[in-house]
Amino acid sequence: MGGLVELGLWRYNQYRDQEEQRFLRAQGYEMRAVLLAELNATLHLASGLASYIPAKQGRLDATELQPWLRGLFAQGRYIRNIGLAPDNRIAYLYPLEGNESALGLYYPDLAEQWPRVQHIIANRVPQLDGPLNLVQGGRGLVYRVPVYLQDQRYWGLISTVIDYDRIMAYLDALARQRDLAIDLLPFDAPAAASAGNVRLPVSLAGAKWQLQVSSTSQPLVALTLARALGWSLALLITCLAAWMMHLHRRRASLAQALNRSQQDFMRAFDLAPQGMAMLKATGQLLEVNQALCQILERSREELVGAVLADFCLPSDRELLRQHLAQESGQARLGWWIRILDAEQNPVDVECSASWLGQSVTGEALCILHIQDITERLRLQQMQREFIASVSHELRTPLTSIAGSLGLINGGALGEVPPAMQALLQIAQSNSSRLHELINDLLDMEKLMAGKMRYDIREQPIWPLLEDAITHNQPYADQYQVALELVGHSVEVNVAFDSQRLAQVLANLISNAVKFSSPGSVVTLKASVDHDWLRVSVRDRGIGIKDEFKSRIFSRFSQADAGDARQKGGTGLGLAICKELIEAMSGRIGYESQEHLGSTFWFELPIASQVVKE
């Protein structure tokens, strides 16, 4: 009988520990969800400010910034201050009161923080850091966003300080209501020695921590009396009865705690500053928050039970269904759609989905975050209009300057003195280079706005390749590089715009020439692969570094090596090539090995074979 008592006590202790672990883990998940919801809401508000500075060319206007920052500060209840740091020195703070000691702070002087700031600048990725001891007192989480101007010059940092002490005090208050204690530990903190707590990983914007959750309730009285009197059958029956009663109370307590957790979650869901919806994979809305009701200008009663696709533009409904059909345990960010408000006006929004798992009926459920990006798109449109306006204003006087320099260098005003000849040639060369930059900017603006006009016709491509060699050889002669059209003539018709395709060939050939050694040969080749015509430009130059390959076709992208910088260029050529080729239903790519050269190619669908008589 005593053995049965000991076995029962051992099994009971094991079960109690397992239940405690399950309870703490469930509570930990809820506390982590509340923490991430509060931090995500603040980071969403802070990220929009990064579009303002490039649009203003890096100039800070206090009269414009003040109301905007006041609005951000009012919505982000845990934002302590927002600082703008051109050239890594904090020159503007909002609010200034209580944060005066941080004004003028120079990041390179902070030995502990500067390496992390350098890492953020080098990777061009915003990052959350902390908790840090602030010079103005207290602790904070710092969300730093590196800002680069339109010419890719580094401007400085936008630093948003989140009041760590306040947000942790809020979480502590929630935890105390549930007889819990929480702590946010470094990610590499040593494992806990006690089994009475759990740790969950927390990851957000490059920062990693561990959330430790432990119970503060008094441990149950050890059953030493039962062990001492366990040889008695009567006491065994009493202990078993007490055990059953305890399990019943424990289940009731867990059910009550789960109910409180659900209520806290729904409260945070409803009060989130961005639109949020809980829905099925079919798109049927199960719950919506106040922010989404404001975006759609509809009541909760009108939305719950409806299908979200019914509030989208017809052209965006299939895109929404595709994303919701791709069920995954990972959050997916960054797809844009347009939804219709109550007056049928389209609203641009950015969506991201976080899958929750399955409901009791086996249906997949997810939380959809819906962020109104109307203001962000307006700033981007201002940026594009500014670039186009400036480019148009510069092109006319620049054309006159280049033409005048050409006449002077050509001897139209008489022989140029040798002392002036070199300087005039440099001026003419740089004016031509600036003219090319302006043309590239205008072409890219037309492509991004969808205003580029094309004259696509079915025609043979071989004569265009021959002309490309002839027209670009004088440029190659400046670098002592030969151009060759190799292979047999390709007798096929392809649908393309001859002017735009000649522009693509000129860009690819000039790039190959610039990065080739004197005396080398750049080859142009055409070949047929099933229903596609491939045209490739091959050089035997310095090749492309691995770290640059992922952004080779991005706008304003150039290799960072000193040799590449000396070659000049706008960084727009390959981006323009990609847009032009894709507009002609083609595709573009490359193969490259460092120090062994590169081959850039594009493919166009064959329209028909040419029949020779």
Cβ atoms within 10 Å, residue 247: 14
Closest CA to 600 of 531, 528, 529, 515: 515
- Cα 595 vs. chain centroid, distance in angstroms? 32
Q: What is the pTM of this model?
A: 0.42
> Alpha helix (H) ranges present in 229-373?
233-271, 290-296, 300-303, 314-325
Can you tell me the distance from the alpha carbon of 38 to that of 32, in angstroms, rounded to the nearest whole number?
10
- Over residues 262-288, the pLDDT tens digits come to 777 778 788 888 888 888 888 888 889
- pLDDT tens-digit map of 105-135: 898 988 888 998 888 888 888 889 889 888 7
Query: What's the chain's average pLDDT?
Result: 81
Residue, of 465 and 268, whose pLDDT is higher: 465
Q: What percent of the chain has pLDDT over 90?
A: 13
* Burial environment of residue 295 by CB neighbours within 10 A (0 to 12, 13 to 18, 19 or more): buried
Report the distance separating Cα 306 and Cα 285, nearest Å: 6
Per-residue confidence band for 496, with pLDDT thresholds at 50, 70 and 90: very high
pLDDT in tens, 387-413: 667 666 666 676 777 777 777 777 777
Q: Alpha carbon of 166 to those of 35, 169, 173: distances in Å?
A: 12, 5, 11
**DSSP code string of 244-275:** HHHHHHHHHHHHHHHHHHHHHHHHHHHH-SSE
Q: What pLDDT is stored for residue 466 in this prediction?
A: 93
- Identify the residue with better confidence: 13 or 40: 40
Tokens of 59: 């100039």
Q: What share of the chain is helix, strand, coil (3-state, %, to 5)?
A: 45, 25, 25
Q: State the helix-helix crossing angle for 573-583 and 498-514, rounded to 10 degrees.
A: 150
How many C-beta atoms lie closer than 10 Å to residue 11's C-beta? 11
The enclosing H or E element of 197 equals: strand 197-204
| All residues at 6 or more sequence positions from 24 whose CB lies less than 8 Å from its CB, including other chains | 180, 197, 198, 213, 214, 215
Which positions ≥6 away from 1 have C-beta within 8 Å? Answer: 230, 231, 232, 233, 236
Which structure tokens are listed for 189?
A: 């903190």
Q: Which residue has the higher pLDDT, 446 or 65?
A: 65
* pLDDT tens-digit map of 416-425: 787 777 777 7
CA distance 64 to 52: 10
Lowest-confidence segment of 256-260, 290-294, 524-528 by average pLDDT:
256-260
* 188 φ/ψ angles, rounded to the nearest 5 degrees: -95, 20
Flag whether pLDDT at 17 surpasses 60: yes
Residues 295-341: tens digit of each pLDDT: 888 898 988 889 888 889 888 888 888 887 775 544 455 678 888 88
Q: Which two tokens stand for residue 37?
A: 């919801």
Q: How confident is the model at residue 539 (pLDDT cuts 50, 70, 90)?
A: very high
CB 145 within 8 A of CB 50: yes
Q: What's residue 611's pLDDT?
A: 41
The predicted model gives 424-434 an average pLDDT of 69
CA distances from 496 to 293, 443, 453, 581, 585 (A): 48, 18, 12, 9, 9
The reported pLDDT for the residue numbered 612 is 43
User: Which residue type occupies 183?
Assistant: D
Most confident of 230-234, 322-326, 413-417, 505-509: 505-509
Give the C-alpha separation, 423 to 110, whole Å: 46
Q: List the Cα angle 155/54/373 in 5-degree steps.
A: 130
Checking if the pLDDT of 351 tops 90, the result is: no
Taking the CA atoms of 94, 100, 102 and 106 in sequence, report the sign of the dihedral they define.
positive
Residue 568 confidence (pLDDT) above 60:
no
Q: Which helix (H) or strand (E) holds 400?
A: helix 374-409
- Please tell me the predicted confidence (pLDDT) of residue 536: 95
Nearest to 200 by CA among 33, 408, 421, 409: 33
- 183-216 pLDDT, tens digit per residue, is 888 888 887 656 678 888 988 888 888 988 888 7
Which is nearest to 522 in space by CA: 558, 566, 573, 468? 468
The answer to whether the beta carbons of residues 79 and 161 sit under 8 Å apart is yes
Instruction: Give the mean pLDDT of 220-245.
Output: 68
Average pLDDT over residues 524-545: 90
What is the reported pLDDT for 329? 47
pLDDT at 178 over 90: no
pLDDT at position 563 is 45
Average pLDDT over residues 432-438: 68
- When mean pLDDT is compared across 88-97, 140-149, 163-172, 322-331, the lowest value belongs to 322-331
Percent share of the chain, pLDDT over 70 = 85
Place of tokens 């005003």: 413
State the pairing for strand pair 521-529/587-593.
unpaired
Q: How far apart are CA 447 and CA 490, in angstroms?
A: 30
**Res 3: pLDDT:** 65
pLDDT at residue 222 is higher than 60 = no
Identify the helix (H) or strand (E) that includes residue 163.
Answer: strand 154-163
Give 338's Cβ-side CA count (13 Å radius). 10
pLDDT-derived band of residue 564, with 50, 70 and 90 as boundaries? Answer: very low
Which three-class secondary structure state does DSSP give residue 43? Answer: helix
